[in-house]
Amino acid sequence: MPIPLINYVLSEGISGIPYFWTIIKTVPWLVALYLLKWYCGGAVNTSERNMHSKVVLMTGGTSGIGASVARELATRGAQIVLLTQHPLTDPFLVEYIMDLRTTTNNELITAEEVDLTSLHSVRKFATKWVDNAPPRRLDMVILCANTQTPAWGKRGVTEDGIELDWGLNYVANFHLLSILSPALRAQPPDRDVRILFGTCSSYIGGSFPEKTSKKERKAKSAPQPPTPTYKNLRPARTTSPYANSKLALMTFAQSFQKHLSSYVRPDKQPNNARILLVNPGWTRTPGMQRFLTFGSLWGLLLYIILYPLWWLLLKSADQGAQSFLYAAMEAGFVLGEGGAMVKECSEVKIVRDEVSNDYVQQELWKDTETIIQQLEKEGAVRRAKEAKLAESEKKEKEKGSEKADESGSTETANAKKAGSRRSRKAGS
């Protein structure tokens, strides 16, 4: 076949080849698209680590990047504990875990019900994990749970009244790790413990909430969701709650590393836990789809029409997971030292100086703790009232059923008396 074709080209010339010039014009564009897709796909993790027997606690492990990370780590033999808001009997969750066990050939995949939008739910799980003797093994915590309110979307609130992006992306992680801190510090000194925070480049445009007094908050017409109350060190550059939450999360991560490193172990061994910030890049996750569609049907239609563009420019979930896998398995990180930021499977510099500022970290930690304590007290009072109300309603129902039974028994007795022999004689 090639010889006659070559002979034909030599005899007739290049112009004799059908669609030759069309192919010549098209190929460069195809090559350019391929190179653009390859570039936007990002770096690939080449680090390897034996994950057998490693216990990994994960949030956001049922969709998007988290699902890809969970699958890859489970394939390498890690024991995965998924923290999910779904009830453990939910058919979707059961099928998801069974499918994950089958595809990864790993039976050590379980789940715990934790609603990250509820401070009480987070405390209930974390307390149960910590209250164990001897301390449970914990090699890694991966925080992939994330939400991003569209630019013109309605801002939701958590169960405790916190703005949703701020509450789930930052406050929930702060609350979870603060309680799990003893379990992390109790791990043997030769164990490589890592805590991975999922972040985003939007933190560069984030700002810290400014300090407001109670009088100022009461003076506002609409009730404001509680947020950390400390003075901003630089002018606010954005109103995006998502960017603000990522900036606060990164600041807390740096502070939490100092908290772990300052702990003096009973065996006098050095700290063995490290914090790593992971920026997976722009990825086609459910959260990104919600953001690009503006949370509307018209936006969804536009997203579908432009899907070839998103497919070309945005990473897939597997590609976005590569930086997480690099942070989880790379051996080059120094034991006991953390706070590094990983992007495209390499360390990058943190742009905002406030993230490493001691004063900002201390104020953020202190005010967040204060607000969480206040909200938990309010939540405890609310749950007590709801339980009391439910108990009173239950008693009223029981009284109502007892009265119905008594009236029914009285009617039966009267019917029996009416049908007795004496009543029949009196009637005759």
Q: How high is the pLDDT of residue 8?
A: 65
For the beta carbon of residue 290, count every other beta carbon within 10 angstroms. Answer: 18
Quote the CA–CA distance of 348 and 339 in Å, as a whole number: 11
Quote the CA–CA distance of 117 and 158 in Å, as a whole number: 5
Q: How high is the pLDDT of residue 321?
A: 93
Q: How high is the pLDDT of residue 407?
A: 66
The pLDDT-based confidence of 157 (bands split at 50, 70, 90) is confident
User: How much of the chain exceeds pLDDT 90, in percent?
Assistant: 37
The end-to-end CA distance of the chain, in Å, is 120
Q: How high is the pLDDT of residue 396?
A: 82
For the beta carbon of residue 350, count every other beta carbon within 10 angstroms. Answer: 18
Per-residue pLDDT tens digits for 398-420 = 777 776 666 666 665 565 555 55
Q: How high is the pLDDT of residue 296?
A: 81
Q: How high is the pLDDT of residue 386?
A: 87
Which strands sit side by side in the sheet containing 193-198, from one edge to the other?
Answer: 109-113, 79-84, 55-59, 140-143, 193-198, 273-279, 340-343, 346-348
Specify the higher pLDDT residue, 54 or 294. Answer: 54
Going from the C-alpha of 20 to that of each of 9, 10, 23, 26, 417, the distances in angstroms are 11, 15, 5, 10, 108
Structure tokens, 126: 């974390």
Is the pLDDT score of 312 beyond 80? yes
R_g over Cα of the chain = 30
Is the pLDDT score of 425 beyond 80? no
| Nearest partner of 171 among 251, 231, 238, 285, judged by Cα | 251
Quote the CA–CA distance of 171 and 249 in Å, as a whole number: 8
Is the pLDDT score of 348 beyond 80? yes
Mean pLDDT of 148-164: 82
User: How much of the chain exceeds pLDDT 70, in percent?
Assistant: 81
Is the pLDDT score of 382 beyond 80? yes
Specify the higher pLDDT residue, 338 or 312. Answer: 312
Q: How far is CA 381 from the centre of its chain?
A: 28
Quote the CA–CA distance of 339 and 36 in Å, as a whole number: 32
Q: Where are the domains of the chain?
A: 55-206+238-282+316-378
Is the pLDDT score of 130 beyond 70? yes
The pLDDT-based confidence of 226 (bands split at 50, 70, 90) is very low
Structure tokens, 87: 């009830």
Q: How high is the pLDDT of residue 405?
A: 65
Is the pLDDT score of 302 beyond 80? yes
Query: Which of 27-31, 244-248, 393-397 comes out lowest in average pLDDT?
Result: 393-397
Class of domain 55-206+238-282+316-378: alpha beta
Q: How high is the pLDDT of residue 334?
A: 63
DSSP secondary structure string for all residues of 203-247: GGG--PPPP--HHHHHHSSSPPPP------SS------HHHHHHH
Going from the C-alpha of 128 to that of each of 112, 124, 176, 262, 405, the distances in angstroms are 11, 6, 12, 25, 44
CB proximity list for 246: less than 8 A, separation 6 or greater: 169, 170, 199, 200, 202, 203, 206
Q: Between the ranges 187-196, 290-299, 412-421, where is the mean pLDDT highest?
A: 187-196
Is the pLDDT score of 120 beyond 90? yes
pTM of the model: 0.81
Mean pLDDT rounded to a whole number for the chain: 83
Specify the higher pLDDT residue, 171 or 216. Answer: 171
User: Which active-site residues does the annotation give?
Assistant: 246
For the beta carbon of residue 92, count every other beta carbon within 10 angstroms. Answer: 11
Q: How high is the pLDDT of residue 278?
A: 94
For residues 123-162, one letter each, b for 16 or more C-beta atoms within 10 angstroms of the residue's C-beta and e for the rest, the string is: bebbeebbeeeebeebbbbbbbbbbbbbeeeeeeebebeb
